[in-house]
Structure 1
Amino acid sequence: MLVITAFALTILTGCNTSAIYGDRAYNPPVYWGRHVVERGDTLYSIAWRYGRDYRELGNANGIAPPYTIHPGQVIRLDRKGRVPANAPRVASRPPANNPSRSSTTPRPQPEPAPKVTRQPNRNVDLSKQSQTVSDINWRWPHVGTVIAKYSTSGKVNKGIDIAGNSGDPVKAAADGNVVYAGNGLLGYGNLIIINHNEHYLSAYAHNRRILVQEGENVKQGQTIAELGSTGTDGNKLHFEIRKSGNPVDPLPYLPPR
């Protein structure tokens, strides 16, 4: 059984990687190896690390809600679980014994733009604008300049990077529950993951200081962290949205600028 090494974890979890890690036979979702739970891990953060739906990964390992795990517990990544019947299906990707790039590996198809069901109020400041997409009301976590957009090719970026000053407030993009608050995912620095519903999670990386705790319910617009540069080379907020474990472009969910 292949054990994921610290080196492999490093290249699998960075916010931006070289194009080879965009290969879907190598990039998350990962369906090979195993993960040994360390102190501070949650099932949500492990699923995030390996690009898996937390419900599917829990089911694959016999872990039921509220998804309690313990240090030393082995999470099998080579098992594929089930998600509820009403959940959208995630494209199946086969296990890979040799995660090297192949010229014949097909590229994942981009997901269609989500439907906006309530338009933002353009008469208010951008920092207070919100719009409803996929039954969730979203707003910008920070209104600084977007300096790097979502990309699945070239320099892969699983979210967007937003410029800011050290200490700027980072706000929750939508109501939800904090399912991870820590610095255990390489390349993300001080990271917060918020669960919004059974399909959607959002993440806020590189914070100088985390102001919320795991298990805490947060409201849209609530300050959850201070912007910083942990795990990266300059002050910025790295923001991601994941649908059923898969990264999606956050821009269609956020109010247009």
Structure 2
Amino acid sequence: SLDFMQALNDMETQIDDRARQLQVIEDILSSRALNNAVSPGGRPVSKGWLSSYYGKRTDPFNGRQAMHKGVDFAGKLGSDIVATAEGVVTWAGKRYGYGQLVEINHGNGYSTRYGHCQQILVAVGDKVEPGQKIALMGSSGRSTGPHVHYEVLKNGRQVDPTRYVRASR
């Protein structure tokens, strides 16, 4: 009967060890899933086309060379603009140069901006999910026609959104 108790004890230890290992695996997988949810991925529009890339280009207003710190998706006035990752809205309103702007903080040093909106459908403090409709496409601010100016910021600095746009979910 002492052998039986010892065997039971050994089994309990093995089960505890397994439970700890599974917890570690679960933590790794959930942090990976969170990373995917908060890293910008895919397009900020459900309909529309990429009309201007990130980088040096001719400014449509003054004809001079200027840095374009985002990508533009053109489309129909009033079409959907969607969040490219989970996050919290940190700006929803007018901002110089952007017209009506939505900015979302995704944690992990990432944030995204959606400029020139016709109408904003979220408020500061709102939690948003990937693919959630946040605004309608417009031409507000410094704009030549209906489009969304989309920026990805890493630690407060604009980076080329193209690689994130291609990383579709």
Match of 2:105 among 180, 188, 195: 195
Instruction: Quote the Cα distance in structure 2 between the aligned partners of 1:174 and 1:256.
Output: 12
SS in structure 1 of the partner of residue 164 of structure 2: coil
Question: 8 Å contact 2:41–2:167 — kept in the other structure?
Answer: no
More strand by share: 2
Q: Which has the higher helix share?
A: 2
The one-letter code matched in structure 1 to 2:69 is K
Cα distance, 1:144 vs structure 2: 1.6
CA distance in 2, matches of 1:173, 1:202: 8
Residue 55 of structure 2 aligns to a residue whose secondary structure is coil
One-letter amino acid matched to 2:87: G
Amino acid at match of 2:54: Y
Q: Secondary structure at 1:252's aligned position in 2?
A: helix
What are the equivalent positions in structure 2 for 1:1-257 lying under 5 Å apart? 132=36, 136=39, 138-142=41-45, 143-152=47-56, 154-183=65-94, 185-231=95-141, 232-255=143-166
Point out which structure has higher relative CO (alpha carbons under 8 A, 6+ apart). 2
Give, in angstroms, the shift of residue 186 of structure 1: 1.0
Percent same amino acid at aligned positions? 37
TM-score by length of 2: 0.69
**Distance across 1 between alignment mates of 2:132 and 2:110:** 18
Give how far 1:248 is off: 0.3
Q: Which one has the largest radius of gyration?
A: 2
Pairwise CA distance, 1:245: 1.0
CA distance in 2, matches of 1:145, 1:136: 22
- Give structure 1 regions of 4+ aligned residues with deviation exceeding 4 angstroms: none
- CA offsets 1:157-210 (integer angstroms, 9 cap, x no match): 000011111110100010000000010x21100000000014011000000000
- Where does structure 2 lack aligned partners over 5 or more consecutive residues? 1-31, 58-64
Q: Secondary structure at the match of 2:165?
A: coil
* Amino acid across the alignment from 1:252: R
What CA distance in whole angstroms lies between the structure 2 residues aligned with 1:179 and 1:256? Answer: 24
Matched-pair contact (CA < 8 Å) for 1:139–1:220: no
Aligned partners of 1:248, 1:211: CA distance in 2, in Å? 26
Question: Which one-letter code corresponds to 1:195 in the other structure?
Answer: N
In 2: Cα distance, 1:225 partner to 1:149 partner: 21
Give structure 1 stretches of 5+ with no counterpart: 1-116, 119-131
Distance 2:165 2:146 in 1: 21
For residue 22 of structure 2, what is the aligned residue in structure 1? Answer: none
**What TM-score, normalized by structure 1, do the two folds share?**
0.46
